[in-house]
Amino acid sequence: MTCQRLTDEDRDALAALLADEPLVANYANHATEVLLSNDHQVWGCMDNGALVAAVIVAVGPFDAEIDSLIVARAYRRRGLGQVLIEQAVAQARASGKERMLLEVREGNVAAIALYQRMGFSVDGLRANYYPALNGQGAREAACLMSLALG
């Protein structure tokens, strides 16, 4: 398994990975734009030539923000998410960014625990931010998290 920065040549693989995950499927139509954008970096993990995980990072003048972290269902709980976050953090740190930001569904306890183990702290909540999962139930708050890179 290898993890690397993705390029425009990976657009179809990225679009397919994104399209398979309903919560980030909106990015699938914009895979090429994201890969070519100066405002984004995309890192991915390949297994036998197939893209199985990716992180999309928006890069600003002072901060970087994890927009999406996607791991194919068959590859979850293998540490790929952590590997990609570590890569994104290392790149942001190397380019002089002050903070790494992210937001995650308040109910995604496993993801929040992972981020906290990696040093992220909870900065607050954005109430009613995410639509209900599967269109049922109440909207869900976004948990705002950050990691100081200095």
- List 9, 115, 129, 130, catalytic entry: 115
Active site residue 21: no
C-alpha count within 13 angstroms, C-beta hemisphere, residue 6: 34
Side-chain-side CA neighbours of residue 107 (13 Å): 12
**Cα of 49 vs its chain's centroid, Å:** 21
Three-class SS state of 37: coil
Q: Which of 63, 46, 67 is nearest to 55 (CA)?
A: 67
Catalytic residue among 27, 65, 103, 140: 103
β-sheet bridge partners, residue 42: 56
Is 33 designated active site?
no
DSSP E strands in the chain: the ranges are 2-5, 40-47, 50-59, 63-71, 99-105, 121-130, 140-148
Catalytic residues: 103, 115
